[in-house]
Amino acid sequence: MVLEINSSFNRNGQDRQAAGNGFNLTTIGLPSYYHNLPLQNCFPSITVAGMGTTFSIPDSANGNGGGFEGYCNGVTYLADHFADFLEAGNLTVTKGAHTLKMGGIFGVKGGATGRYLVANQSFAFTAGFTQGPNPQVASSTAGYGFASMLLGLANTGSINSAAPAPNINLQYWGAYFQDDWKINSKLTLNLGLRLRLRGSLDGAKQ
């Protein structure tokens, strides 16, 4: 008779923060109600028309020709964590012409991400509001995007206020029974049954 028991736990994660994480938005004139968002404040993405091309610095932060970099989004800010818990047991019993094997397995896989916890603001400035004398009339020769930015007159803006992504957990379990029955020196029967199931922690089986 041989009993084998295995237990394991594995956890790994990816964490990275942009330079602008935690930036106080009210210091650049944005309203105080930005602090009411259930997300982390971060320096906004700023794009100024006519001041170069937008580019990305791999695995670090983002920037553009206006020289503003360090803002946060789901790429520059990472907080992903994964865990794997496993329990398994096997029993082997040899008795006469029979070799009996039986066992079971139980495991839990989990994943969580915090990359959507940042507000991820974005503002774009064009020559529209400085193309006088009438800013409502388009002009190809008047206005300057940087001047519009200095006046705080953005052409477009957005802020992410979505709820954070939920944690994901998955259970899986299984059991088996096997009998290697040696009837004679020329004939051995391999008889057995195996069952394996997967299901989420809320009980929804797959």
CA dihedral (144, 147, 151, 152) positive or negative: positive
Percent of the chain's residues with pLDDT above 70: 81
Q: Cis before residue 44, ω within 30 degrees of 0? A: no
Domain-located, residue 11: yes
Whether residue 31 is contained in a domain is answered as yes
Query: What's the pLDDT band for 11 if we cut at 50, 70, 90?
Result: very high
| Position 65 in a domain | yes
Q: According to the model, what pLDDT value does residue 60 have?
A: 40
Q: Of 70-74, 85-89, 195-199, where does the model show the most confidence?
A: 85-89
Q: What is the pLDDT of residue 22?
A: 77
Given a cut of 90, whether residue 175 has pLDDT beyond it is yes
Residue 154 lies in a domain: no
Which domain does 94 fall in, by range? 2-121+159-200
Predicted structure pTM score:
0.54
pLDDT of residue 106: 93
Q: Is residue 144 one of the residues assigned to a domain?
A: no
Query: Residue 162's pLDDT band (boundaries 50, 70, 90)?
Result: low
Query: What pLDDT was estimated at residue 76?
Result: 64
Number of domains in the chain: 1
Sheet holding 168-184, edge to edge: 2-16, 78-95, 98-113, 168-184, 187-200
What's the mean pLDDT in 26-37? 79
Task: Say which residue, 180 or 36, is predicted with more confidence.
Answer: 180
Distance CA(206)–CA(200), nearest Å, equals: 8
> Shortest CA distance to 195 belongs to which of 175, 165, 178?
175
Could you tell me if residue 184 is inside a domain?
A: yes
In a domain, 115, yes or no: yes
Decide if 85 is inside a domain: yes
Q: Using alpha carbons only, how large is the chain's radius of gyration in Å? A: 30
Which of 47-51, 139-143, 176-180 holds the top average pLDDT?
176-180
pLDDT at 203: 37
Chain mean pLDDT for the chain = 79
42-46, 128-132, 147-151: least confident range: 42-46
Of 47-51, 132-136, 196-200, the least confident: 196-200
pLDDT of 5 above 80? yes
